[in-house]
Each structure stands twice: as structure tokens, then as C-alpha cells.
Amino acid sequence: MSHALVVGTFDTKDRELRYVADRLVACGLRPLLVDLGTGGGARPEVDVTAEEVAAHHPDGAAAVLGLDDRGRAVTAMAAAFERFVLRRNGSCDDVGGMIGLGGSGGTALIAPGMRALPIGTPKVLVSTVASGDVAPYVGHADIAMMYSVTDVAGLNRISRRVLGNAAHALAGMMREGAGIETGADRPAIGLTMFGVTTKCVTRVTEALEADYDCLVFHATGTGGRSLEKLVDSGMLAGVIDVTTTEVCDLLMGGVMSAGEDRLGAIARSRLPWVGSCGALDMVNFGAKETVPQRYADRLLYVHNPQVTLMRTTVEENRRIGEWIARKLNLCEGPVRLLVPERGVSALDAEGQLFHDPEADAALFEALERTLRPTADRRLVRLPHHIDDPEFADALVASFTDITGGK
């Protein structure tokens, strides 16, 4: 049986971590206690000492332990722990799951190591900061974060129940995970979707799911980063990138940017890529009152109380098109960029609020002007709206063409 790693700062949270380990033993699991403490002094008995973890830092244990600056020590230990996890999981493959607990510092220590584990390996992180913005900790990993309610400081009627629930959650994931059907009998492909491109992606998925395990990513920034991580990991056989809208947020300051490396993994991997202009007509912000003042006079659409969409302009569309095309010029694998001339989202259809043929034309012209066509890199303009069945069918046909079918 693989181990359940119980990780945290044993120099400050020994009782709480051992309570979690005891609950895991009661569930029939084998806990492995990993100390991430940086405080020095007497060390409790654990399976993996802080010195052993710290030794995985590129500059050795001295760069982690014995520092006067706690912030530097925590940052260094987090880097060392990430490398420890990567090495242990890669060499022994005995990490069946991981549970950690801590305050803000402990959460920052543990999260990078959890993110280093493969998608699907159970990860539970009990934290005092789990009721706030957890994006910096979770990133694009499948970490289950649980709010500790009380501080992780002693055992009481609240902490026993919360920590026990967390341990039992990990045990359930580890015990029952083997019975989950994974779709590993088919190669996996990644697709990107927004609500305003759902019809297109649904039709593409339905056409391909008999031959491929279709992984659809919500293009919310995190979704794009998750897709790119899986591409880099070698888990995907190809990508149908219908919805490239995260580029709008990157360039215009929206809240759903996937960062500068969007499409970078496609270039590095040379993976077969078929893409389009899905939702390049919009930038995402939070509630309407959060839209930056410089955009106050723009065309806005309240998608829901938490999301406000801003229509992109002619000039912005030129920038977006040039950015995407320059990224695709770096791709040496097979690339097909399909352009829907009658609209790039459900809101950009004729008669809808964001319908703007001039802005779309600027986008398409910039893509066509900037993209350098080769035998493997092509742009195809189609007289369809992105949600037309004919456009979805063209995406499927292009993907089949560049992959040679299944």
C-alpha cells in the first residue's frame, strides 16, 4: 500500500499532526510523517526530518534551516519540499495521498509540494486561510482545502472534528480511488469552453468522445493554466482550443488571465493543436462596481452578480490577434486556426449585444496578417458563427486531419 504523507511543522503542531496520523491508521492507512519545521531546536520523532527535506533545496539544507528571517526560511523550505515530493513520487511512486495543516505560513509551505503531485492523487489541506482567496495556494492543482474554523493550535471539540473529517476524507479518496473509471482506454485531449461557446464545444466533444477522453477546461485563467500543465506533463494527445478568451484578460487587465505562457506549452510540446477565436469579444471583471474607472464608458454586460463582461474594441482586437498569432508562430507542431467570420461567441451573434462586425474584422485581419503560414501551420476562415454546427464539424475535421484519426 502506498503512503499517506502527513506534512506540517512538527515543531509547532506535533499534537495536531499526530492526531491526523492516528485517524488515518484507524482507517487502515500507512501515514508517513514529514516535518517541515524551520524553527530549529529539539526535533520530534518523525519518518522524514526537516533536515532531510531541507537537503533537497538547490543550495542545500543551510539555505533553509538556521535562518533568522522566518519569511526567507518558509520560502526556502517550500521550495525544498516541492523538490522532495517530485523526487520521492518520481523515484518510489509511493505517495498515495497527502494531508497537511497549518496557518498562513504552514499553508504556504505545504501547497507547493501538493501542487507537485499528479492530478488525481488525493490532497487535503486544512488551513486557517481556506475561507478566503485560495487561488495562490491551489493554483491549477486538485487540492481540497478545508477551513480549520479555530486556529491549528491544540486539540479541542472543534479541531478534533475538523481534523478528523479531513483525515477521513483523505482515507476515503485513497481507498476508493482505485475503483474510479478513468477513461485511460482512450487517448486524452484538452478542449476549452466558456458559457458563450458551449454549443460548439459540446458538439465537438460528442463527435470525438467515442475515440478520445475529452477533458473540457473552463477558460477562467486557472482553466487555461491547468490545460497547459497537462500539455507539459505529456498527458494529452492533442488540444482543441476553441475558447482563447483568457488572452483578452491578459492584455486588458481582466480577472481571468492565464498569464503570458498561454499557448507556450503547445509550442514546447509540438502537440497537435486546433484552435479558434472563442469569446475574444470580451474581457472579464467581477461585480460591475469593480470594473476599472478607465473602462466606465465601455459596453458592459452583467453576466451575473459576480461577473461583468466588457466588449473588446477594434484596437484591442488587433492587439489580441497579433498576440495569438505570434504565439502560434512559435509552434512547430501541426496547427490549424479556424476563424468564425459570423461571430466569436453567443453574445457576438447578429442581433446580440456584443455583435460588432468591425471589431471582429480587425481581429481576423490581425490574425491573418501576423500568422506565418507553413505546411503545418494554417489559418482557415469559415463563413459561420462559432456556435453553428458546421463550424464545430470543421473543428473536428481539422483535428482528425492533423492527427490522422485515432
Give the strands of the sheet with 123-127, arranged side by side.
31-35, 3-8, 95-102, 123-127, 144-147
Domains 3-179 and 188-403 share a fold: yes
What's the CATH fold of domain 3-179? Rossmann fold (3.40.50)
* Superfamily of 188-403 according to CATH: Uncharacterised protein family UPF0261, NC domain (3.40.50.12030)
User: Once rounded to an integer, what is the mean pLDDT over residues 121-140?
Assistant: 91
Give alpha helix (H) positions in 177-245: 198-208, 222-233
Where are the domains positioned within the chain? 3-179, 188-403
What are the pLDDT digits (tens) for 338-374? 999 999 999 999 999 999 999 999 999 999 999 999 9
Indicate the pLDDT class of residue 315, thresholds 50, 70 and 90: very high
3-state helix, strand, coil in the chain (%, to 5): 45, 20, 35
Cα separation, 361 vs 353, in Å, equals 17
Amino acid, single-letter form, for residue 342:
R
- In three-state secondary structure terms, 404 is coil
Listed in order, strand segments (DSSP E) in 255-359 are: 273-275, 282-285, 300-304, 307-311, 335-340
Q: What is the pLDDT of residues 58-108, one digit of tens each?
A: 999 999 998 888 889 999 999 999 999 988 866 556 789 999 999 988 999
> Which pTM was predicted?
0.77
